[in-house]
Amino acid sequence: MIESIRLDGDGNRVWNVNAWVGRGYNNGKPVSMKLPMRDKIATNVGMLIVHSNKEMAHLNTVLPGLYRDYSNKPLI
Protein backbone atom coordinates (compact mmCIF):
# COMPACT_ATOMS: atom_id res chain seq x y z
CA MET A 1 0.00 0.00 0.00
CA ILE A 2 1.35 3.39 -0.97
CA GLU A 3 1.20 5.83 1.91
CA SER A 4 2.50 8.96 0.24
CA ILE A 5 4.07 10.22 -2.97
CA ARG A 6 6.54 13.08 -3.41
CA LEU A 7 7.13 14.80 -6.74
CA ASP A 8 10.27 16.91 -7.08
CA GLY A 9 10.10 19.48 -9.86
CA ASP A 10 9.81 23.12 -10.84
CA GLY A 11 6.10 23.22 -11.72
CA ASN A 12 6.67 22.37 -15.36
CA ARG A 13 8.81 19.26 -15.14
CA VAL A 14 9.14 16.45 -12.63
CA TRP A 15 12.57 14.92 -12.29
CA ASN A 16 12.17 12.78 -9.20
CA VAL A 17 9.28 10.65 -7.97
CA ASN A 18 9.34 8.81 -4.65
CA ALA A 19 6.71 6.71 -2.94
CA TRP A 20 6.55 5.47 0.61
CA VAL A 21 5.06 2.03 0.97
CA GLY A 22 3.54 0.68 4.15
CA ARG A 23 4.18 -3.02 3.66
CA GLY A 24 7.81 -2.78 4.83
CA TYR A 25 9.55 -0.62 7.39
CA ASN A 26 13.18 0.22 8.05
CA ASN A 27 13.96 1.30 11.61
CA GLY A 28 10.38 2.46 12.10
CA LYS A 29 10.31 4.51 8.88
CA PRO A 30 8.33 3.64 5.76
CA VAL A 31 10.40 2.23 2.93
CA SER A 32 11.05 4.73 0.15
CA MET A 33 10.91 3.47 -3.41
CA LYS A 34 11.52 5.29 -6.66
CA LEU A 35 8.78 5.05 -9.22
CA PRO A 36 9.67 4.53 -12.88
CA MET A 37 8.86 7.61 -14.91
CA ARG A 38 9.38 9.25 -18.24
CA ASP A 39 11.53 12.34 -18.46
CA LYS A 40 9.93 15.78 -18.45
CA ILE A 41 6.46 14.95 -17.19
CA ALA A 42 4.29 18.05 -17.35
CA THR A 43 2.65 18.67 -13.98
CA ASN A 44 0.18 21.33 -15.12
CA VAL A 45 -1.76 19.15 -17.57
CA GLY A 46 -3.75 16.00 -17.12
CA MET A 47 -3.86 13.83 -14.03
CA LEU A 48 -1.43 11.62 -12.21
CA ILE A 49 -2.60 8.07 -11.69
CA VAL A 50 -0.75 5.53 -9.61
CA HIS A 51 -1.10 1.88 -10.57
CA SER A 52 -0.11 -0.23 -7.61
CA ASN A 53 -0.11 -3.85 -6.57
CA LYS A 54 1.86 -5.91 -4.10
CA GLU A 55 5.17 -5.57 -5.90
CA MET A 56 5.29 -2.44 -8.03
CA ALA A 57 3.93 1.02 -8.61
CA HIS A 58 3.85 3.04 -11.81
CA LEU A 59 3.30 6.72 -12.33
CA ASN A 60 1.63 7.76 -15.57
CA THR A 61 0.47 11.04 -16.97
CA VAL A 62 -3.07 11.06 -18.27
CA LEU A 63 -4.11 13.78 -20.68
CA PRO A 64 -7.81 14.67 -20.63
CA GLY A 65 -9.71 13.07 -23.50
CA LEU A 66 -6.85 10.84 -24.55
CA TYR A 67 -6.90 8.11 -21.94
CA ARG A 68 -9.15 7.12 -19.05
CA ASP A 69 -8.55 4.46 -16.47
CA TYR A 70 -11.59 3.67 -14.36
CA SER A 71 -9.82 1.08 -12.25
CA ASN A 72 -7.67 3.60 -10.39
CA LYS A 73 -8.44 6.75 -8.46
CA PRO A 74 -6.78 9.91 -9.80
CA LEU A 75 -4.47 11.90 -7.55
CA ILE A 76 -5.37 15.57 -7.91
Pick from 35, 27, 25, 26: which is nearest to 60 by CA? Answer: 35
Residues 45-71 have a mean pLDDT of 39
Put simply, whether the predicted model's pTM sits higher than 0.85 gets the answer no
Distance separating alpha carbons of residues 66 and 61, to the nearest angstrom: 11
Task: Check residue 30 and give its pLDDT.
Answer: 53
Residues 8-55 have pLDDT tens digits of 665 555 556 665 555 555 555 555 555 554 433 334 333 344 444 333
Judge whether residue 70 has pLDDT over 50.
no
- Greater confidence, 59 or 34? 34
